[in-house]
A and B are shown apart, each in its own frame.
Chain A
Amino acid sequence: MTKQNQPTDYGHPVQLRTEHFYYDNSIVRAFGMATVIFGIVGMLAGLWAAIQIYYPQASLGLAPTTFGRMRPLHTNAIIFAFVGNASFAGIYYSLQRLCKSRLFSDKLSWIHFWGWQAIIAAAAITLLMGKTTGKEYAELEWPIDIAITLVWVIFGINMFGTIFKRREKHLYVAIWFYIATWVTVAMLHIVNSFEIPVSFMKSYSWYAGVQDALVQWWYGHNAVAFFLTTPVLGLMYYYLPKAANRPVYSYRLSIIHFWALIFIYIWAGPHHLLYTALPDWAQSLGVVFSVMLIAPSWGGMLNGLFTLRGAWDKVREDPVLKFMVVAITCYGMATFEGPLLSLKSVNAISHFSDWTIAHVHIGGLGWNGFMAFAILYYMVPKMWGTSLYSKKLATNHFWLGTIGIVIYAVPLYWAGFEQSIMWKSFTPEGQLKFQFLDTVNSIKPFYILRSIGGSLYLVGAFFMVYNLYKTMKAGSFVPNEPAEAMPLIKIKSEQKEYWHRIIERKPATLLVLSLIVVAIGGFIELVPTFLIKSNVPTITSVKPYTPLELQGRDIYIREGCYTCHSQMVRPFRDEVARYGEYSKAGEFVYDHPFQWGSKRTGPDLAREGGKYPDSWHYNHMYDPGTMSPGSIMPAYAWLLENRLDTASTPAKIRAMQKLGVPYADGYAQNANSDLMQQADSITAGLKKDKINTASDKEIVALIAYLQRIGRDIKGEQNSTAAQLNK
């Protein structure tokens, strides 16, 4: 850039050439199509899973379509495929227009697109096959984790490249939200995905027990924050003003709430672990930050709704605005409810119940789903150079969706509250008033209602597919949309000088900064060692799993048992009475990954070991209804047929040893003989109960694990439970 060409703000004559360029609509179309397809797929998976809760036979008796595998498929499809693709579509559309620049690289755009779709396809296949890490919303196995990292980096280069070559000096607030999304998700994903590979599609979490739980929910909550919230808020700040054709209510507020939001969000995670074995102070930290979050969250919501002040007549006319108003309202409701649920006294009732499911679906169906629909209804007519095929159909979609959300959420709130209160009810004699199964049966009608609400929502989405299809037919797609803008000169030259000056003047500062960066890197490499050392058991009677139990545990993870069963007895009278002694952090030191769960569709299993005979478990897995009449648990008949893969045992033992689990040196070689010995003793026991099975069946390993859970501590100390039971 020559000096005389440099424009100045006012008064000086400047020489500028308007530049002509094209916005890339093709990539937006691709991500938009993927949004629609995976939205439908994800919702169908959700509906199927929802029906299975009250009608377990809907699993068709097949392993891949059973709830424990369908539920991760549903959550991953909705979060990463539906909302992910919608965000990418919306970001790529708006970023170009906000930066007045085509995307940085067409090639990177397409690598991003196909890479992401390949990840989704791999996720769908592996999750249905039961390849899972067993950590919620981070179920994908290590090769896919690496692929996600790579594609995310591509996305980052493409986004920052576009920002760097922008023709608009000011970074509109939406871009800040996009940047925060990218930075934070990259970090979260990498930290939570530390795992040690055992084989191509099997790994163990680097962290164990309570530490794993903390990392997981630090990740889990921030995934909500930075994958489902910040990108969508960014979209709101672009598409809402555009659709309403009026500026955002307060630009200043948008800036303030952005910075407040990203600085506060990061520590809210521990509110998922209230009353668990996580240390109290960490729980309280999570509560404090969660409560503070209401301010920036509502800042965003109010800013969105106030943008429509004086324009509510437009809301009556325009389906895009209709969707956005309900989306933003749902965001406000969910972010009010979130801090509320983070209060320990509320959480004591809500946690593990369907209340949480209702809460996340206000966010998922209302905020994320409706925002995705809104931006699709906005972008498609624009990119096809036409108007929406049918406003009426879109309005019908809107009403079906809205009513669907209500019919989905209200019964689940009711169910969650009712069931939790039943769990906690005692008779005047001090006995638990209800069996677990009683509480399940009492809320079955609500489960049915919920799936009706979900169906309505899904039907609405089909309306959209048809409407968008007709709109596309009516218009003609503009793959490259011409645009023009003045080049941006000033900022570049000035910025260069600025950084240059720092290097010249403050080499010491730079040195210190680079040292810090390196130290952080080094520390991250070293910390796992510290972790292992700190994993020295605090309860001496807690021993590593036997090889057979370890294999059984992997089956437990594979079948997604954690999606319905917790392994965490909270220190409440009812839970101690129902399940046994409350859980201690020291019990989980060999649990890679932790399996505390987050939902009790079935009872807690933390003290399952020794509760029932082996034969009970055998029959129960074959047909749960025979052992607990009215049970909604699906049958796992294939476990009785499948042969246990003992070839993997040595690798598994070695991986655990690397993670600091104290198996004797060289134990990996002998592990399988111990395994067979234990399996034989279980089959011998089953034979006494007139059940004939071979020792090499998966069911034997699973029984071994189930009979082990929570047992170590039982022998040593039972006084606490006895005292609390009095």
Chain B
Amino acid sequence: MSVIIILLIISISIAAVFLAAFLWSVKTGQFEDDFSPASRILFDDKTKPTN
């Protein structure tokens, strides 16, 4: 069952990658606003004068 060691290492390193991504996203404020991103995608950015 030594293969489980590979699987563990790979799974954990992938998890570590995701953890790093998570920490990065928290640090850079990706999740500070959990309201407007959901609405923002609804607006189409068709070519027209903004504001």
Please determine whether B38 and A251 come into contact, CB atoms closer than 8 angstroms: yes
Knowing A263-B15, A266-B15, A279-B1, the reply to whether A523 touches B38 (Cβ < 8 A) is no
Please determine whether A187 and B45 come into contact, CB atoms closer than 8 angstroms: no
Please determine whether B47 and A238 come into contact, CB atoms closer than 8 angstroms: no
Q: Point out the residue from A245, A252, A530 that lies within 8 Å of B42, measured CB to CB.
A: A245
A255 is an interface residue with CB less than 8 A from chain B: yes
Please determine whether A531 and B2 come into contact, CB atoms closer than 8 angstroms: yes
A228 is an interface residue with CB less than 8 A from chain B: no
A492 to chain B, nearest CB (A): 11
Please determine whether A252 and B34 come into contact, CB atoms closer than 8 angstroms: yes
**Which residues from 1 to 29 on chain B have a C-beta closer than 8 Å to any C-beta of chain A?**
1-7, 9-11, 13-15, 17-18, 21-22, 25, 28
A214 is an interface residue with CB less than 8 A from chain B: yes
A171 is an interface residue with CB less than 8 A from chain B: yes
B38: A residues at CB distance < 8 A: 241, 247-248, 251, 254
A389 to chain B, nearest CB (A): 22
A527 is an interface residue with CB less than 8 A from chain B: yes
A246 is an interface residue with CB less than 8 A from chain B: yes
Minimum CB distance partner of A173 in chain B: B37
B15 to chain A, nearest CB (A): 6
Q: Point out the residue from A214, A246, A247, A485 that lies within 8 Å of B45, measured CB to CB.
A: A485
A716: B residues at CB distance < 8 A: none
Please determine whether A251 and B35 come into contact, CB atoms closer than 8 angstroms: yes
Please determine whether A211 and B50 come into contact, CB atoms closer than 8 angstroms: no
B9 to chain A, nearest CB (A): 6
A-B contact count (CB 8 A): 103
A427 is an interface residue with CB less than 8 A from chain B: no
Please determine whether A215 and B7 come into contact, CB atoms closer than 8 angstroms: yes
Please determine whether A531 and B11 come into contact, CB atoms closer than 8 angstroms: no
Please determine whether A282 and B15 come into contact, CB atoms closer than 8 angstroms: no
CA distance A180 to B14 in the complex (A): 10
A491-527 toward B: CB 8 Å interface, digit per residue (1/0)? 1000100000000000000000000000010011001
CA distance A100 to B28 in the complex (A): 19
A262 is an interface residue with CB less than 8 A from chain B: yes
B10 to chain A, nearest CB (A): 6
A674 is an interface residue with CB less than 8 A from chain B: no
B33: A residues at CB distance < 8 A: 170
Please determine whether B14 and A266 come into contact, CB atoms closer than 8 angstroms: yes
Minimum CB distance partner of A253 in chain B: B34
B47: A residues at CB distance < 8 A: 20, 482-484
CA distance A255 to B46 in the complex (A): 28
With an 8 Å Cβ cutoff, the count of chain B residues facing the other chain is 34
B46: A residues at CB distance < 8 A: 482-483
CA distance A266 to B50 in the complex (A): 44
Please determine whether B30 and A171 come into contact, CB atoms closer than 8 angstroms: yes
Please determine whether A267 and B11 come into contact, CB atoms closer than 8 angstroms: yes
B2: A residues at CB distance < 8 A: 211, 527, 530-531, 534
A475-496 toward B: CB 8 Å interface, digit per residue (1/0)? 0000000111110000100010
Please determine whether A484 and B50 come into contact, CB atoms closer than 8 angstroms: yes
B9: A residues at CB distance < 8 A: 520, 523-524
Minimum CB distance partner of A517 in chain B: B13
Please determine whether A187 and B10 come into contact, CB atoms closer than 8 angstroms: yes
Which of A168, A170, A183, A245 gathers the greatest number of chain B CB atoms within 10 Å? A170
Please determine whether A100 and B6 come into contact, CB atoms closer than 8 angstroms: no
Please determine whether B37 and A191 come into contact, CB atoms closer than 8 angstroms: no
B29 to chain A, nearest CB (A): 8
B10: A residues at CB distance < 8 A: 187, 191, 524
A501 to chain B, nearest CB (A): 13
Please determine whether A180 and B6 come into contact, CB atoms closer than 8 angstroms: no
B31 to chain A, nearest CB (A): 6
- What residues make up the interface of B, taking CB atoms closer than 8 Å to A? 1-7, 9-11, 13-15, 17-18, 21-22, 25, 28, 30-31, 33-35, 37-42, 45-47, 50
| Cross-chain pairs A/B with CB under 8 angstroms, 20 sampled | A100-B45, A170-B40, A180-B18, A183-B14, A184-B14, A191-B10, A215-B3, A215-B7, A241-B41, A242-B41, A242-B42, A247-B39, A251-B34, A255-B34, A263-B15, A266-B15, A282-B1, A484-B47, A491-B28, A523-B6
- What residues make up the interface of A, taking CB atoms closer than 8 Å to B? 18, 20, 97-98, 100, 168, 170-173, 176, 179-180, 183-184, 187, 191, 207, 210-211, 214-215, 218, 238, 241-242, 245-248, 251-252, 254-255, 259, 262-263, 266-267, 279, 282, 482-486, 491, 495, 520, 523-524, 527, 530-531, 534
Q: A266-B14, A486-B50 are in contact. List 5 more A-B contacts (CB 8 A).
A: A207-B3, A247-B41, A248-B38, A262-B18, A483-B46
Closest 8 CB pairs of A and B: A247-B38, A211-B3, A251-B38, A252-B34, A534-B2, A482-B47, A247-B39, A251-B34
